[in-house]
Amino acid sequence: MIHPEEIRRRAESLYREFVMAWLAGDGDSFFPREVRCRKKPASNDLAETSRAVRVLRAGSKEATGFGYSVQWRVVRSRTFGRNEFPERVLFLSADDLLRFVARSDEFAMLVAAATKVRSRVPVLDQWMRANPESLLAVAAEVDGLLDVVVWLTQHPRPEIFARELPLAVDTKFIERHEVILRKWLDIALPPHTIRSDEEHFHRRFGLRYAEPRLMLKLLDVKLRAAAGFPCDELSLPLRILEQLTCPVSMVFIVENKVNLLTLPPIEGAIALGGLGNGVSLLRYVGWLQSVPITYWGDIDVEGLTILSMLRACFPHTQSFLMDQATIDRYQRLLVPGTGRMLDVPTYLNAAERELFLACHDQNLRLEQERIPQADVVAELSRGCQVRSTSMNAQSSVRDRPIVRSNWTIET
């Protein structure tokens, strides 16, 4: 015979079913709801069976005023004589079920939150039906969440910081609730206002944020004048680099800051650095697709992995001083690597894959800053047409050669 504790366990499942039914609009027709259970005595022991009947009756609505109801039937038998046994166990109303499982307050919160969502952003109704637990988890914050969704629906991609939204939420509210807000905004906003290829919350929905800053060096004084910059070395947020309009004809991406700053003048060229594994952020700089790109980093598993990441965004990327010949030439400068176990990157060519495996298996590293500056300039000259000229008054170094780039995008 069923025990009240078993009824309680089954009532928990019944509660979840009721929540789903209520969200679907079928709450009123959900009750009465029977609890299917074993009703026959577990043994032929009269005393034990009588005790089980008493416990079942004592835990029922008949005794407590709420909870499960029992429909009894009279049974006559040789073993038990004339006695009442349960015919059906059922919950007659939502109140009976909610009080029995101690969920009355919780369900009231859910109802209040769902009512607000349906009133203000009805397009989220289907999401609520599928995610009642998630809705309940944010029920206390639902007003602020809906304020954010409604405002961004009316002002898509505002290009302001989240804390600048004219809403009565604290400055870290959006940050705390990015997970749920992303789900709601993906549903509520027009598709053309969402950058669907972007996982970063702020970039996805057109909000400003504390962007990573990129070190920029203008390798041609004419570019400095064209860009209107006050100096040839500066740090830029990503969105400003994306808007750069000066006539750049070549881009160097260099890991080490000093190596970046000591590159020689190169006509039409700029150099970017300070990126590390963040090189993939450059995919937002659309004009990089149409200019030659050269990457120079350490020769080790990390440096070659970064090269592959960059090439995933810009397949035309070439490398500089990152080959077996460079390793062979500077054997005396090799140091141990980090020992990291990384998979072979996807976007390396055959020679670069061989170099990666050698660095991986032998734990090798050639740090780019160890290569003598004179050799760096000489290698750049071999890849470019060199002509000597005088730098104009804007240059900080006079009579230094300008290297005219003749490197082109490989196709």
pLDDT digits (tens, 9 = 90+) for 349-379: 999 999 999 999 999 999 999 999 999 999 9
201: exposed, middle or buried (Cβ count in 10 Å: 0-12, 13-18, 19+): middle
- Residue 307 and residue 322 in contact, taking contact as beta carbons nearer than 8 Å: yes
Asked whether residue 103 carries a pLDDT value surpassing 60, the answer given is yes
**Is the pLDDT at 387 greater than 60, yes or no?**
no
DSSP bridge pairs for 386: 403
From CA 183, how far away is CA 114, in angstroms rounded? 16
Sign of CA dihedral 339, 341, 345, 349: positive
Residue 88, strand partner residues? 71
pLDDT one-digit tens code per residue, 288-310: 999 999 999 999 999 999 999 99
Burial grade of 361 (CB within 10 A; 0-12, 13-18, 19 or more): exposed
Question: Is the pLDDT assigned to residue 43 strictly greater than 70?
Answer: no
Q: Average pLDDT, stretch 302-327?
A: 95
More confident residue, 349 or 49: 349
Mean pLDDT along residues 199-214? 89
Domain ranges of the chain: 4-102, 105-204, 213-404
pLDDT at 100 over 50: yes
37 against 169, higher pLDDT: 169
The rounded distance, in Å, linking the Cα atoms of 20 and 130 is 8
Q: Has residue 243 got a pLDDT over 90?
A: no
For the stretch 157-194, pLDDT in tens is: 999 999 999 999 998 999 999 999 999 999 999 999 99
H or E element that contains 112:
helix 104-120
pLDDT score of 276: 78
Q: What percent of the chain has pLDDT over 70?
A: 88
Confidence of residue 404 (pLDDT cuts 50, 70, 90): very low
Residue 399, pLDDT score = 33
Non-local CB neighbours of 231 within 8 Å, separated by 6+ positions:
224
Q: Quick one: pLDDT band at residue 42, thresholds 50, 70, 90? A: low
The pLDDT score that the predictor gives to residue 408 is 39
Instruction: Compute the average pLDDT of residues 241-262.
Output: 91
Query: Which pLDDT belongs to residue 396?
Result: 33
Place of tokens 């109704």: 125
- Beta sheet of 33-34, edge-to-edge order: 33-34, 81-91, 69-77
Q: How confident is the model at residue 400 (pLDDT cuts 50, 70, 90)?
A: very low
Residue 266 has pLDDT above 70, yes or no: yes
**Integer Cα distance of 49 and 254 in angstroms:** 83
More confident residue, 131 or 52: 131
Please give the backbone phi and psi of residue 403, each rounded to the nearest 5 degrees, phi first: -95, 115
DSSP per-residue codes, 180-230: HHHHHHHHHS-GGGS-TT--SHHHHTT-B----EEEEEESSHHHHHHHT-S
**Band of the pLDDT at 281, cuts 50, 70, 90?**
confident
Q: What is the mean pLDDT of residues 118-140?
A: 95
Please provide residue 187's backbone torsions phi and psi, each rounded to the nearest 5 degrees: -85, -40
Q: Average pLDDT of 63-82?
A: 77
Provide CATH code, domain 213-404. Answer: 3.40.1360
- Would you place residue 82 in the very low, low, confident or very high pLDDT band (cuts 50, 70, 90)? low
Predicted local distance difference test score (pLDDT) of residue 204: 94
- 177: nearest Cα among 146, 155, 145: 145
CA atoms within 13 A on the CB side of 235: 6
pLDDT at 210: 84
Min mean pLDDT across 69-83, 181-195, 207-221, 248-262 is at 69-83
**Token pair for residue 301?**
């598993």
Coil/strand/helix, residue 63: helix
**pLDDT at residue 80 greater than cutoff 80:** no
For the ranges 8-17, 24-33, 62-71, 389-398, which has the lowest average pLDDT? 389-398
- pLDDT for the residue numbered 392: 34
Q: What is the pLDDT of residue 183?
A: 97
Rounded Cα distance, 367 and 381, in Å? 21
Could you write out the three-class secondary structure of 309-378? Answer: HHHHHCCCCEECCCCHHHHHHCHHHCEECCCCCCCCCCCCCHHHHHHHHHHHHHCEEECHHHCCHHHHHH
Residue located via tokens 């989240």: 162
C-alpha closest to that of 323 among 341, 347, 303:
303
Please state, rounded to an integer, the average pLDDT across all residues of the chain.
86
